[in-house]
Amino acid sequence: MSKREIIDFICQINRSAKPEFLASFPVTDLNEYLNNLMELDLEKLTVEV
């Protein structure tokens, strides 16, 4: 996944995230952040169901 795609996914989950800010981080950090967001998002869905 490209850096741009990772940033787009992050912004879909965390709507307050700014692409310009995220672009300053390395891909490895963005991947880790995206993984954390996806885990939290799944936990939220599990609790709501």
Diameter over CA atoms, the chain: 36
Mean predicted confidence (pLDDT) in 19-47: 88
| pLDDT tens string 6-31 | 999 999 999 999 999 999 999 999 99
| 31: CB partners within 8 A, 6+ apart | 1, 6
Report helix, strand or coil for 7: helix
Residues of 26-36 as b/e, b for ≥16 C-beta within 10 angstroms?
A: eeeebbebbee
Question: Is 47's pLDDT higher than 80?
Answer: no
Q: Looking at the whole model, is its pTM more than 0.85?
A: no
